[in-house]
Structure formats: C-alpha cells, structure tokens
Amino acid sequence: MSGESPSYKGHRYPAEIIAHCVWLYFRFPLSYREVGELMLQRGVIVSYETVRLWCLKFGQAYADGLRRRRPAAGDKWHLDEIFVKIGGERMYLWRAVDQEGNVLDVLVQSKRDAKAARRFMAKLVKKQCRVPRVLVTDKLRSYGVAHRELMASVEHRSHKGLNNRAENSHQPTRQRERAMRYFRSPGAAQRFLSALAASPRTSGPDAIF
C-alpha cells in the first residue's frame, strides 16, 4: 500500500470512531458483535457487519502506517513456524521477529518444507531490504536449506532453546484462534494476522493517527 492516509469518503461515522473500533478488534480477543456492544455502551450505535467491513478496509492500512513509524528492525532475526487450523485443514504460520520482539513479517503456507522456508525468507529479506547479522531458528532442516541458498554469509544459530522469543510471539495468535474459533480461509488468515502483528499492544487508537 502507498504511504497515503486511508480515505474516509462516504463513511458517515468520524474517523476516530472507525479507528477505535478497528483498534478494539485487533488489540483484544473480541468478536465484531462484542466491539459493537462496547461502542453501544459509549452511546455509539454500529452494527457488527459495519465493524467487519471497517476491519477489512482499514485494518491493513492502519497496520502499514504503524509499521512505517517503527524504528528500523534489529539485526538479529528469530524465525519460527506453528500449525494453525484454517477451514478445517492444518496449515502453518511462519513468523519472524527481531531481538526486541517486534514482528517483522508473517506468512501462512500449507507446508513447512524447504520450498516454504525459502519463500518466507525471500519475502522477509525483500521487505526488510537487507539480511540480518544473525539468524536464529529451531532445528527444522528446511531453515538450513533456505539459509544456505539465500543468505549463506549470515550466521545461523539453530537451537530449540534459543528461539523462545519467536515462539512467545505466537501467543496473541493462539488467543485469537480460540476467540474466533479458527480461521475460515488462508487469505483471511493472512490478512488478519498481518494486521494483528502490527497492532499496538500498549497504546490506544490515537497511535493510528
């Protein structure tokens, strides 16, 4: 997406209300209906379908804006993958974080073989426009293959115990899985998790503007 602010043309609600609803949905394990109920307590009547459409339209735009404001990523990248249930099928969520725990990228894929590892690493390097100083992964062999092909000069530390930072970053995803009763499609999961990764964990919706 471009660096331009999202357009609110045609929306009868103020941008602040839209941003607050989207922030609530991505920041807390709430359903669209629950967000609507919280807004009703504040005197704002908004349907769950309207909240859903706002999240679809503005969620990624807000996430991109928040990412642009972040400091440059660290030079030590932790990569990990977990299985997620999507549409009743087992798939894998690949995630990369830096040494500060900032999420660098996420990617939903059907496998966790060498091809999948290469695809994720290539996407990550392209997005960051550089390679890290150190790459930390678990002992999945797919990482070793992708590392040798894409960033052989980078130090690779492969050890289960070293990758707690990446593993811990999966916790918000697990919370949302339970609240949403799993994801319906790979595309929907990718869009949601990409926006969730950038949502502020300690600040309010004012951080969006």
- Asked if 140 and 116 count as a contact pair (C-beta separation under 8 A), the reply is no
**Are residues 48 and 109 both part of a single domain?**
no
Q: Does the predicted TM-score (pTM) go above 0.85? A: no
CA angle 53, 55, 61 (to 5 degrees): 120
* pLDDT tens figures, 111-141: 999 999 999 999 999 989 999 999 999 899 9
CB under 8 Å to 188, separation ≥6 — which residues?
none
How do residues 197-208 score in pLDDT, each as one tens digit?
765 554 555 555
What CATH number is associated with residue 159? 3.30.420.10
CA 169 to each of CA 40, 67, 165: distance values in angstroms, whole numbers, following the listed order: 32, 17, 6
Range of the domain at 108: 76-169
What is the spatial distance between Cα 123 and Cα 94, in angstroms, rounded to a whole number? 11
Q: Which residue has the tokens 């440059």?
A: 72
Strands 89-98 and 103-109: antiparallel
63, 94: one domain: no
For the stretch 35-67, pLDDT in tens is 999 999 999 999 999 999 999 899 888 877 777
Query: Are residues 93 and 158 located together in one domain of the fold?
Result: yes
